[in-house]
Copies of this chain bind each other. A is one copy, B any other.
Amino acid sequence: MGQKLRLGMIGGGKGAFIGAIHRIAAQIDGEYELVCGAFSSNPDVSIQSGKDLGLDISRCYASFSELFEKEKQLPKNERMQVVSIVTPNHLHFEPAKLAMQNGFHVVLDKPMTFSLAEAKMLKQIAEETGQLLCLTHTYTGYPMVKEAKQQIAEGKLGEVRKVYVEYPQGWLSKREENGDNKQAAWRTDPSKSGIGGAIGDIGTHAFNLVEYVTGLKVTQINADINTVVEGRKLDDDVNVLLKFNNNASGVLFATQVAAGEENNIKIRVYGEKGGLEWQQNDANSLLMKSADQPFQILRTGSSYLRSFAKHNTRTPAGHPEGYLEAFANLYRNFALTIKAKLNQETPTPEMLDYTGIEDGVRGMAFIEQVIVSGQSDQKWTAFIV
C-alpha cells in the first residue's frame, strides 16, 4: 500500500447502486483515498453527496467540467490522480475524454461508451495522452476466473474447441422502467444506454469473460435478439452463436427476463483434453474435468494455484471472497500499475491484469455487430472491430 492514490468520482451520488460499489472496491485494499467528486448532474445533489461521504466541501463539485478545471489548479501533490466515471453510458465519453486530456487516469464503468465510434475516439485520445484506462468488467476480477485463464494459456485443456457462456438475470421480467426504478429506466432507454439493452448491459460482460478466459478472439456471430417485455425499447434477451479465431465454436446467451434468476454469469470451456467451469454463484470454486479422471475442484486461496489467482486473493482457502473483492481486484491492479508508472518501474503481468481500452473497443463492436446480426437474415456476420 503505502501512499494512497487520490481518487475523484463522477456520478454515483445518493441512491446510485454502482457508485457505492466503486467506492467500496476502491477502499478495500487501501490503495485509494476518495478526495473529490461530481456525484450528480444535479449540482445540489452532487455537493450534498460529497459532504455525506465526508469530503472536504471545497472538493465537492457541481459538475464534472468544474471538477477537472478546479482539480487541475491544485498543487500536483494534492490534486486528484484517478477519476472513476460511474454515470450512464451516454455520459462516459465526454468526462473520460476530458479526464485524459487534463492528465487524469480513468476508471470507467462498462460498456465503455455510448457507441463504437466514441470508443474508437477514446482509444485514440488514450494513445495521444498516454493516460491509462481501466474498464470495470468485474467478473474477470475473480481469482478463479484468472486461474481458468492461466490453466488454458498453459494448455491444460489442449486446443479449445467449445465455449459456453451465459448470463441469466430476471430483474427486467416486468416493465420495471415504468416505475421508479432508475436503473431500469436508463438501461432500457436508447438515449442513455445506446443501441444495446441486455446485450450492452450484460452481454458485454459475457463476451469479455469469454475472450479473457480463453485468450481467443470472436470472428463470427449469429445473433437472435429479442425484446420480450412488450413496449420495451431495447432488447432484453439475446442468444448468439459464436465462431473463434481458432475455429472453436461457442454459445453466448444473456437475458434479463429469466424471471426468478439473480445474476449468475457462468462460463464453460472445453478443449481436446478436458474442460472447466466457473460460475459466480460458486465463485471460489473452479471445476475442472478430464476424460477418465476424477473431477477436480480448485479453490480460491489454495497453495497450488497460479500467480494471478494468488495475487488477487486476500484470505486463505475457506474464507469466501465475493463480488466486491473481484471488483476491488480491478481497482487494485490498476493502482499498482499507476504506482509502478509513477515510480518509473515496469508493472508485472499480475499488475497489468485489468480490463483496458482495447477490450472496451471490442465490447462496443460486439454490441453493434450483434444488433446488426440480429437484424439480418444472413446466418453469420463477420465480427470486425
Contact = CB atoms under 8 A, between A and B. Distances in A.
Could you say how many copies of this chain the assembly holds? 4
Given A54-B1, A170-B275, A228-B161, A320 B317 contact: no
A219 interface: no
Contacts of A166: 164
A368 interface: no
Given A298-B294, A314-B24, A54 B2 contact: yes
A338 B255 CA distance: 44
A315 interface: yes
Interface stretch (A57-65, A91-99, A264-272): A264-272
A257 B161 contact: yes
Interface stretch (A25-33, A343-351, A356-364): A25-33
Contacts of A319: 263, 322-324
Nearest to A289: B260
Interface in A233-275: 237, 239, 241, 249-251, 253, 255, 257-264, 268, 270-275
A137 to B, nearest CB: 14
B255 A1 contact: no
Contact of A294 (B157, B283, B302, B316): B302
B1 A30 contact: no
Contacts of A297: 294-297
Interface stretch (A36-44, A123-131, A372-380): A372-380
Interface of A: 1-4, 17, 20-21, 23-24, 27-30, 52-54, 157-158, 161-162, 164, 166, 168-171, 173-174, 222, 224, 226, 228, 237, 239, 241, 249-251, 253, 255, 257-264, 268, 270-275, 280-284, 288-299, 301-304, 314-325, 376-380
